[in-house]
Amino acid sequence: MTHHQERVVVGVDGSTASVRALDRAADEAVRRGCALRVVYAVPDRDEAGPVLASSVSRLGDRHRALAVETVAVEGGAARALADASRSAVLTVVGTRGLGGLGGLLFGSVGVRVAAHAHGPLLVVRGNHSDGCGRDVLLHLQDADGDAAAAGYAFEEALRRGARLRVVHTPAHRHVLPELPSLVPATSPGQERLSRRERADEAVPRFCLAALRDLHPQVQVVARTVRSAPAHALVEATRDAAVVVIGTRGTAGRPGSHPGAVGHALLHHSHCPVAVVPAG
């Protein structure tokens, strides 16, 4: 695993969305007690001066004790931020809301950052530089793929002194039960469904047992959602401070990917989204 120095990285481009990301990144650096690196990717480094100077001035007004470093990088934002994430405990980017045609996370750029970041990536969406609530929200699908995301979510809840809400969405497709009016309640199909539902509901308890023991201060509440998981997660972000999702590799595709639910959150979440690579 790559060793991360104590530094938060944020990408800026002069847009309103990136200013929100800058503010959030500074808060995250202060919360972690580490330095902040501000990265601007441009075709010509000489163009970066005004935007970086404005960023330093804004940070100086708000966080006088924060150590700030600015870097101008020639090339695309996605690659610059993915490279910068190698030496970061957290990388922060901004994106405009629905329908926006700008910002650092528009279209495929954001997908590439999420796919190739070497550590946690925080996506600050729209007007939501911070969420409307205090809770940390975790999307949990399975123990192996989401172990890193779960660990990050517990640490985030601990940093914030917040409750952790877990929404578990089973990876398997949900099978509709047989109609009770046509078959007895003890039919093999009903019994199989009941066993699967009990197994699903036990997943968060078993997956998070070690983390609960490690962080007994964190209050955890969990629920299992078997239908319309993307909708359920997006609705749950309405009163969350941040939602944490994991990524995993896909056969035949480079990098890692957040999956269908993750993509829905990146486009529609009501709070910032923390994307944590598996392993």
Beta bridge partners of 276: 246
Give the rounded percent of residues in the chain with a pLDDT score beyond 90. 54
The pLDDT-based confidence of 103 (bands split at 50, 70, 90) is: very low
Strands (E), 134-259: 135-140, 164-168, 220-224, 240-250, 253-257
Residue with tokens 């990301």: 21
8 Å CB contact between 129 and 23: yes
| pLDDT tens digits for range 21-63 | 999 999 999 999 999 999 999 988 888 999 999 999 999 999 9
- The average pLDDT across 215-225 equals 95
CATH topology of domain 130-273: Rossmann fold (3.40.50)
* Alpha helices (H) in 63-138, listed in sequence order: 77-84, 108-116
Residue 98 has a pLDDT of 44
Question: Chain centroid to CA 191: how far?
Answer: 37
pTM for this prediction: 0.84
- Residue 137 φ then ψ, to 5°: -110, 135
**What is the enclosing helix (H) or strand (E) of 134?**
none
| pLDDT exceeds cutoff 70 at 105 | no
The tokens for 161 are 């002194």
Residue 259 has a pLDDT of 84
8 Å CB contact between 219 and 164: yes
CA 112 to CA 123: how far, in whole Å?
13
- For the 1-129 domain, the top CATH level (class) is alpha beta
CA 269 to CA 231: how far, in whole Å?
10
Do the domains spanning 1-129 and 130-273 agree at the CATH topology level? yes
| pLDDT exceeds cutoff 80 at 4 | no
Residue 202 has a pLDDT of 64
CA 32 to CA 35: how far, in whole Å?
9
CA 153 to CA 244: how far, in whole Å?
6
| pLDDT tens digits for range 183-213 | 565 666 666 656 655 656 667 778 899 999 9
The pLDDT-based confidence of 168 (bands split at 50, 70, 90) is: very high
Write down the domain spans for the chain.
1-129, 130-273
